[in-house]
Structure 1
């Protein structure tokens, strides 16, 4: 472990090292972790000792990286699922069935599974509820209930649950769904994606009309192109919803003869049927590059093939040893034995071979490498079927007729015909942000390198901060082999200089060889035109992608991790081009946000405002006073006072006053306070306030705090008017044009401004925090 970057050991210790419930360390090194996993996954074998040794050899040196839940849970005896993702059952259009599904979602997330749901089965808002004489509230209202539930569930491994919600493009509530997350406090636990059909895409191209209907009833007809533009405008400004080409997913599904897919897991790489589950693992391509940075550099296909054969066996065994939150999920997994073998470190592997990501050579190399990954995976699964039997729902004639199976080499199809296949689907490209950090900070999945170097501030035991440079694996290897002063070749490109079409080309060529789907974020420049942005999605559809997710930094979505400035020659400059504002004394800076190491001093007089909050379930109003401080020409919150005549509120309002004020006085981006308050769900029920469901009194207080922060210009105005915000913003000469929140992304776990958006997830490059919604 001593040869890898310090961040790798820290990630292992924080997330994957086995510790007993009392915190006692059970593993001395990452090698102990590999032994634990190898022993656990070899248990189903007749010769467990033999396969434990082979599995250990595969895991050693990070050649193969099981998904994080396997690394953290296998062999620990904990009652957790080793599966990363689930799609829940179809939601029946009745209240009892809806809340039965809510319960199943809570149980699944409690054991550590991310979930996907298709809400298209619920009748639209305003539709009659027969027998009750009332109107339906629509799928969005029930998504709010799911969102509140998810906020209260801490899933296994101390990670909050992640959810994906999908809605068909012909559902009558699709227009509301598209705009749902434009309310900054709504559906924060969900990723949203529109299920786009081939017929809709053709209607967009032909500028035809498009019907919105439910259960045979036509509710509305809209121009298809207008609806498409609504989707594009929302994702252009708010990064959601994503787009899933659902017909293509079902047409290319190996199991089209026995299942219909209408939802995906939270990151989109696993389209799954009702109660579908999938486990994930990735081959580290950097470990198979021979003669790096030489003219003879190449990927060792023979070694890759051999290790994939072992990896497929390892993953197949996970199905037999894992817990499942629900019996229906266990049954689905056992009947189809779906797995998702993928790759990580692709961008670094290309660099090691002297190939520029996104170039024609990169597309050609990736095509060859992924074709071999697919070939090896299918042949391994065929061999397992010969030894252990095909998956129970295997139907030779129907399976071989599948569109993806027909694209495979003749000898693979012949093998399936003779022996069957152990796993119905075998390949997928999953998010690998945290495990890529674990594996010596290699590039993640099929994504380009986000930044070759950055600085993270490490909290030391004495409370001080130590600056530590984190560099990409390929860069460190180049420096070690070629010297510290050798100029970087032009194939060292990062996400900042690539075009969106570079991303699309790479996603499309990988999709050819993946039977499930791909977790991929197409990074776009902030100044990309709307028409050019729309072209990305149309190009992705035309090139055969199964979905498309973009990220464009702006005042609403926030910028991602800031990297050192670059000179005209592309080298990192020693100083930023613009002189930064002076930092307060006793502070440190991370990614442009100033964090305080001691509280700000309180002036004698502070500007502020008092708000009256009337909670429907309380006999007395609550008065909330927020006072502000002027710091470097910017007005920012400094303290809060919460008062009520209701004696039942006294203790917790005092505690809340002290805690929030302490956070405000430390400086930095404190907007997370709003999100945390609005996330609180009261199991006794919330209340409707001004036409909006508020899940708890604390959430209502969060709304008040948010309103205040918008008024003083600390948060952007979601209505886009900017009138009051601008008036409060101009509190002193030289005040910034933009509020602090939204310009930078702060990690909710470590506080560093180091969140990047990659593979559909927010991932912290400082502490390894990952959240896929």
Structure 2
């Protein structure tokens, strides 16, 4: 093989910036996340053209193993410029990538046969979860098989602790796993039938708890009917048993109101309408072969059976609008159907590539130096995934740019006309994908379990039959290549590269202002804004790419400096007016999801964005409408939910600069004038991080669940602190040594159940680190809010590289305790520059562009 050329980051970024026509965010995302790299960070691709050539070459290799293959050039043209067919994250990064041994699947679900409620089963799922996350997979699993709190168990505990403590266990495992700055993603689910479901629903209401997982409750039709009629609802364990060990009658409306309140307050739990999911699922027609759906992936768009996985791909809907943003605009259904068929063929090729990747994973595990006993779980895990992948050949074909497609056609997202057109597009999409899967069955063979009789009464198949009887007649004759085909996922960073709206969502903002810091003494500089610390900024306008195309097509001049009134007037003239995430008719958005869902055999990831002042009653009405509309799930996000509640003193006004047209206001945080007296012992979390190439460990003492003090040092048994990797929690004890000197020890319970003590945490510090740690612990003890502590720590601009790296590790340790949704005041998004960063599960998420930064 010819030696690959290495490019510097600057070379790749500059070339990609030109490729994306000056879009800095798109260029940075591509170089950082998707350009081919080795483990040393060397970059081997200069622009996305190189990446698409790599992907096309691998897919063409698969095509050549079948009849009537597509050529490499044909595949490349479908991928080029992200215009038509767009593989999602894991396939885009992994196809043709020989530098990493990883899966091409975006998401997995795991679970044990027989659903054993034992520590052995709990630990096994924990290990499998971590093994998948380390290879870039998002994971989901269900907790409905765990015994409710207080039921008898045959061990020294005598009674079960219930499922809530294990939510924290799985959450902590997720937080430990990171790949190239990308933290693991986890979905935890439970059935509403479970007697502990109320505790599950409330688990994330405590700040800092279960921060490493999304949570959704599986709601059945009986429960919803009980909410409507007021009839009692029976919870039981086991949840599907006719003679349960535990049974209790509850008022469904009371639990329903708790779900609504928690969703209103902190955006979780999400709801999954489980009977709808199971009833509509094609894979569940084969439940007796192990394809019973038990949970979903972290974003909820792929309900899966245990040990199945899915790869994702999106069709860029905007690219099928001819004459966009003009009275002659129309959707090219003929080209759309042709490309959808080829997209399904490409997805089937990716399954073959995934099986090859799994074989490489299995080979690597076999060659690893660990003992066979250590490797057994991981080997069994990947063998089960390989079996399910080959048996079902599941695909996850979807769409992106829904919002831009509608705007380009002159339709306003969230209106009945737009919903009707979207439904038509997704109906044609479903028919084209299933026709292609039947074509592939004729050419390559059906998935091995296909049985027309099992599917005959499935509602989704019945809709396909009504729309195209010939399709189903041919399917029943020759079979189908793929057990399930369709989804609509959040396209996240991928939509930044397609330069379109994301997934099925409306546009977030078509135009907004961004700030760049300037030196006010420089010649010809314009100062538009002065912040609370006196830094000067110039404001300029950032346009959504398709909004910019609307302007160009309609002869509207692009300007960098517009007043807020001019911005509002410009948006009001556009087809994006009243169609942003916060403007759309919420109830119509739910109805749209329900109508489109009829033509999606998996599910749809969609979030209803709500303003801060909406009532809990509205959230309840939206959830009820989602169930009645046939949605498979629903998530709401109320602006400001999960924010940390701080008592603020009256705000001060910063003196206006001559060029300023508005004031900058900064709230003064009121701190208590006394500190909590330190108890003899504190609950404590353990957080591990890297300091340059050294492994470090932090012990965070807690009072009422909030950080009170920090100890940290090297994580080794010679010069630092040795603490087993399995230990995530314990207690910090104030002790006295044999010389009467006070010290702090860390105590935990080891795997054998014995209390173990690490003595002298305060003695494990390098003196320089210790001084800064005392400063941090001091402000924590006096009640400074975590966001302000992080700002303080981040502002320690020190000469020592070692100290600065350690400082970043301490920041990472403390971010765990930021309540989800808290605004990161004074921080700007590194990609788009917007001041819309919020903390989400320890990461900073930009609400403007979706960029995330963890650790």
- TM-score w.r.t. structure 1 length? 0.78
Instruction: Tell me which residue corresponds to 1:562.
Output: none
Pick the aligned partner of 2:412 from 340, 343, 356: 356
Instruction: Tell me which residue corresponds to 2:542.
Output: 470
Matched, 1:346 2:346: no
Matched, 1:380 2:436: yes
Instruction: Tell me which residue corresponds to 1:612.
Output: 678
CA distance in 1, matches of 2:26, 2:122: 43
**Which structure 2 residues correspond to residues 304-383 of structure 1 after superposition, within 5 A?**
304-322=336-354, 323-324=357-358, 326-383=382-439
**Which structure 2 residues correspond to residues 263-282 of structure 1 after superposition, within 5 A?**
263-282=295-314
Distance 1:143 1:592, change over 3 A: farther
Distance 1:126 1:582, change over 3 A: same
Matched residue SS, 1:220: strand
CA distance in 2, matches of 1:278, 1:2: 29
Deviation at 1:768, TM superposition (A): 5.4
Is the Cα contact below 8 Å between 2:189 and 2:295 reproduced in 1? yes
Distance 1:97 1:50, change over 3 A: same
Instruction: Tell me which residue corresponds to 1:427.
Output: 486
CA distance in 2, matches of 1:264, 1:320: 23
Matched, 1:8 2:26: yes
User: Bigger CA drift: 257-266 or 606-615?
Assistant: 606-615
RMSD: 4.2
Pick the aligned partner of 2:330 from 298, 301, 311: 298
Pick the aligned partner of 2:51 from 6, 20, 33: 33
Pick the aligned partner of 1:235 from 238, 263, 266: 263
CA distance in 2, matches of 1:53, 1:118: 44
Deviation at 1:300, TM superposition (A): 0.7
Matched residue SS, 1:165: strand
CA distance in 1, matches of 2:462, 2:699: 68
Pick the aligned partner of 2:505 from 427, 447, 464: 447
Is the Cα contact below 8 Å between 1:340 and 1:427 reproduced in 2? yes
Q: Which has the larger radius of gyration?
A: 2
Distance 1:444 1:127, change over 3 A: same
Distance 1:473 1:175, change over 3 A: same
Deviation at 1:307, TM superposition (A): 1.2
Pick the aligned partner of 2:592 from 506, 513, 518: 506
CA distance in 2, matches of 1:187, 1:222: 26
CA distance in 2, matches of 1:238, 1:657: 37
CA distance in 2, matches of 1:170, 1:57: 50
Pick the aligned partner of 1:413 from 463, 469, 472: 472
CA distance in 2, matches of 1:198, 1:287: 40
Instruction: Tell me which residue corresponds to 1:202.
Output: 225
CA distance in 2, matches of 1:664, 1:701: 16
Matched residue SS, 1:257: helix
Deviation at 1:539, TM superposition (A): 0.5
CA distance in 2, matches of 1:748, 1:189: 22
Matched residue SS, 1:258: helix
User: Bigger CA drift: 5-14 or 186-195?
Assistant: 5-14
Matched, 1:68 2:76: no
Deviation at 1:763, TM superposition (A): 5.0
- TM-score w.r.t. structure 2 length? 0.71
Matched, 1:481 2:505: no
CA displacement 1:644-671 (0-9 Å, x = unmatched): 7354433448537637969999xx9963
Distance 1:263 1:176, change over 3 A: same
Distance 1:384 1:555, change over 3 A: closer
Pick the aligned partner of 1:108 from 132, 157, 179: 132
Instruction: Tell me which residue corresponds to 2:169.
Output: 145
Distance 1:659 1:310, change over 3 A: farther
CA distance in 1, matches of 2:95, 2:197: 41
Instruction: Tell me which residue corresponds to 2:772.
Output: 658
Matched, 1:55 2:55: no
Deviation at 1:616, TM superposition (A): 7.3
CA distance in 1, matches of 2:259, 2:32: 39
Deviation at 1:47, TM superposition (A): 6.2
Distance 1:33 1:541, change over 3 A: same
Matched, 1:517 2:572: no
**Which structure 2 residues correspond to residues 528-539 of structure 1 after superposition, within 5 A?**
528-539=614-625
- Tell which has more relative contact order, 1 or 2 (C-alpha 8 A, sep 6+): 1
Is the Cα contact below 8 Å between 2:320 and 2:335 reproduced in 1? yes
Instruction: Tell me which residue corresponds to 1:437.
Output: 496
CA distance in 2, matches of 1:254, 1:185: 38
Deviation at 1:489, TM superposition (A): 3.3
CA distance in 2, matches of 1:298, 1:623: 61
Is the Cα contact below 8 Å between 1:88 and 1:276 reproduced in 2? yes
CA distance in 2, matches of 1:385, 1:466: 59
Instruction: Tell me which residue corresponds to 2:835.
Output: 753
CA distance in 2, matches of 1:425, 1:380: 12
Q: How many residues align?
A: 670
Distance 1:310 1:623, change over 3 A: closer
Is the Cα contact below 8 Å between 1:38 and 1:53 reproduced in 2? yes
Matched residue SS, 2:71: helix
Is the Cα contact below 8 Å between 1:7 and 1:470 reproduced in 2? no
Instruction: Tell me which residue corresponds to 1:572.
Output: none
Distance 1:610 1:340, change over 3 A: same
Instruction: Tell me which residue corresponds to 2:64.
Output: 46
Matched, 1:496 2:582: yes
Please, which runs of 5 or more residues in structure 2 have no aligned partner?
1-18, 239-243, 359-380, 519-534, 558-569, 646-650, 685-697, 713-733, 735-741, 745-759, 794-809
CA distance in 2, matches of 1:523, 1:142: 30
Distance 1:445 1:385, change over 3 A: same
Distance 1:745 1:79, change over 3 A: farther
Is the Cα contact below 8 Å between 2:653 and 2:664 reproduced in 1? no
Instruction: Tell me which residue corresponds to 1:764.
Output: 846
